[in-house]
């Protein structure tokens, strides 16, 4: 959520002129997509190898923790980039038919924070999907994936709520009309601190993780006693049908 709320705002107030070509703001988003395109298949191969070897059953949680730390680092870099951006002299830039006074710092200086955010997404998203689908019992896989989508949507609303709360709490200082007069870097550092608390909370409970497919799957299939009773009932039905068939035959046919 920080790309449209904070990073785009930061990019919009930077110099978008690249060797005479005016870059669109959304072009910076391509930088954050590239790590996801390259890292996601590599991490999937690593996860497949680890789980096929039945070792390192906590590797998805390790990826999630690493992704959270990378996201926090991205926000810290964004905060220092904002401080660095204010040291450049202002220039006029036309954006959406409006002439704005922006920093002369090239927008490509913001690339590290976009790259780190893309790496964080590449680490977290496949791991969450793996935990929500592959390592849960077959009977609740669909429900698990629906809950994953639900909480992703809830995260978007929570991000918008944090932005509105920070804007109201700072009385517009963190999100002013002229960005070089505000303190957007404080908002990034505030988010980084929240991300560190979130990472610490997840790390404290990640040790409880176990392979749900192996440990709890039998709870959804039924106990071993129930399986034996069902198998016994099937055998009785089979022999009952054999006896009924035999009783309809003549003594000679039964003998044969």
pLDDT digits (tens, 9 = 90+) for 72-106: 999 999 999 999 998 888 888 887 777 888 888 98
Say whether pLDDT at 205 is over 90.
no
Do 233 and 207 fall within a single domain?
no
Do 132 and 15 fall within a single domain?
yes
Can you tell me the distance from the alpha carbon of 133 to that of 135, in angstroms, rounded to the nearest whole number? 6
Do 126 and 228 fall within a single domain?
no
Burial class (CB in 10 A: 0-12, 13-18, 19+), 230: exposed
Do 235 and 168 fall within a single domain?
no
Do 162 and 240 fall within a single domain?
no
Cβ contacts of residue 204 below 8 Å, gap of 6+?
Answer: none
Do 209 and 233 fall within a single domain?
no
Domain that holds residue 236: 222-255
> Confidence band (pLDDT; 50, 70, 90) for 8?
confident
Do 241 and 209 fall within a single domain?
no
| Tokens linked to 39 | 């890292």
Q: What is the pTM of this model?
A: 0.74
Q: What is the pLDDT of residue 92?
A: 85
Q: What is the CATH number of the domain that holds 35?
A: 1.20.1250.20
* Mean predicted confidence (pLDDT) in 40-53: 68
In angstroms, the Cα distances linking 104 to 8, 183, 246 are: 16, 18, 96
Say whether pLDDT at 221 is over 70.
no
Do 229 and 107 fall within a single domain?
no
3-state DSSP helix/strand/coil percent for the chain, to nearest 5? 75, 5, 20
Helix (H) or strand (E) run with residue 95 in it: strand 90-95
Do 194 and 229 fall within a single domain?
no
Do 244 and 199 fall within a single domain?
no
Do 227 and 204 fall within a single domain?
no
Q: What is the pLDDT of residue 4?
A: 67
Q: What is the pLDDT of residue 193?
A: 94
How many domains would you assign to the chain?
2
Do 199 and 236 fall within a single domain?
no
For residue 14, the 8-state DSSP code is: S
Q: What is the pLDDT of residues 170-187, one digit of tens each?
A: 888 888 877 888 889 999
Say whether pLDDT at 48 is over 70.
no
């Amino acid at each position: 959520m920080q790309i449209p709320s904070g990073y785009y705002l930061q990019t919009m107030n930077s110099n978008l002129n690249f060797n005479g070509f005016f870059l669109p703001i959304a072009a910076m988003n391509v930088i954050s997509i590239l790590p996801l395109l390259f890292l996601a298949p590599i991490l999937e191969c690593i996860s497949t190898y680890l789980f096929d070897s039945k070792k390192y059953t906590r590797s998805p949680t390790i990826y999630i923790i690493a992704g959270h730390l990378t996201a926090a680092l991205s926000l810290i870099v964004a905060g220092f980039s904002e401080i660095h951006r204010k040291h450049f002299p202002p220039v006029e830039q036309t954006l959406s038919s409006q002439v704005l006074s922006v920093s002369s710092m090239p927008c490509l200086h913001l690339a590290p924070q976009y790259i780190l955010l893309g790496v964080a997404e590449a680490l977290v998203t496949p791991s969450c999907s793996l935990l929500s689908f592959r390592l849960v019992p077959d009977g609740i896989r669909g429900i698990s994936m629906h809950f994953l989508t639900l909480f992703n949507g809830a995260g978007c609303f929570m991000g918008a709520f944090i932005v509105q709360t920070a804007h109201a709490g700072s009385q517009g200082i963190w999100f002013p009309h002229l960005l070089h007069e505000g303190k957007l870097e404080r908002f990034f550092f505030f988010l980084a601190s929240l991300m560190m608390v979130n990472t610490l909370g997840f790390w404290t409970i990640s040790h409880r993780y176990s392979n749900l497919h192996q440990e709890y799957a039998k709870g959804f299939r039924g106990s071993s006693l129930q399986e034996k009773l069902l198998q016994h009932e099937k055998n009785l039905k089979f022999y009952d049908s054999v006896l009924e068939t035999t009783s309809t035959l003549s003594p000679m046919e039964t003998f044969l």
